[in-house]
Amino acid sequence: MAELVFFTGTMDCGKSTLALQLHHNHAARGRAGLIFSRHDRAGEGLLSSRLGLQTDALEVDEELDFWDVVVGRVSVGTRVDYLICDEAQFYRPAQVDQLARVVDEIEVDVFTFGIATDFRTELFPGSKRLIEIADRVEVLQVDALCWCGRRATVNARVVDGAMAVEGAQVVVGDLTSAGRGAVEYEVLCRRHYMRRMTSRQASPDQLPVEPEAGPLR
C-alpha cells in the first residue's frame, strides 16, 4: 500500500541526507521516482545535504500541481513509483492535498521532508497540513545540538548577530557565517531560545568543554 510519509526535525538533523538515501535505495531496486525541492540551500532545481551530496530536483513553485505532474508522466507511459519531496514546509496546503491524492488514487509512495516550525515556533502551513493528513509522521532520531550541548528543538533566525522574533515567515538563509545584514539560522534548545541567547551572545565559559582525549580502553 502506498503511503504519504512526513519526516521532520529541526534544521541540521539530516532530513535532506535521508531524502537522498531513500532515493538511492529505491532507485537501486529498480523503482522510478521524481525528486522535488523548494528553496534549497544550493540553489534552484537541486536537493542538497550539508554533507556535500546533491542531485537535480524539480523546483516547487506556487503554481506547481503535483497531481498534474504525475498524471502527465504516467499518461505518456513513464513509470512513477515514488516521490521524494524536500523542504515540504514551504509547500502550500493545497499542494500537500495533491500529494495525498497521488498516494490514494495512483498508488505512488510520497516521502516528504521538512521542518515543522518556523523561527517563531509556529507551524509552517505545509508542515501543519502534513501532520494533519500524513499516514505517518516520523521524527528523525539524529539530534541537532544547541551551542550549549543540549538537544536543539527550535530553529532561530539571526539577523545582524541578534535573534529575530518578528518578520516574514520565509526568508532564505543558512547555518553559515554571514555578513552584516544577512540572515542566518541557528538551532537552539528551548531554554536558550526563550532567553534569546544564540552562540554569539554566549560567553566562552558557557560553551561546552571538549573532554580531554584519553587512552582507549
Buried b (16+ CB within 10 A) or exposed e, 60-73: beeebebbebbbee
Extended beta strands in the chain, E state? 4-8, 33-37, 46-48, 54-56, 58-59, 82-85, 109-114, 136-139, 154-159, 162-164, 183-188
Q: Which of the following is catalytic: 3, 59, 63, 87?
A: 87
**Dihedral angle of Cα 200, 202, 203, 205, to the nearest 10 degrees:** -130
3-state DSSP assignment of residue 208? coil
Is 87 part of the annotated catalytic residue set?
yes
Strand partners, 34: 83
Q: Which residues form the catalytic set?
A: 87
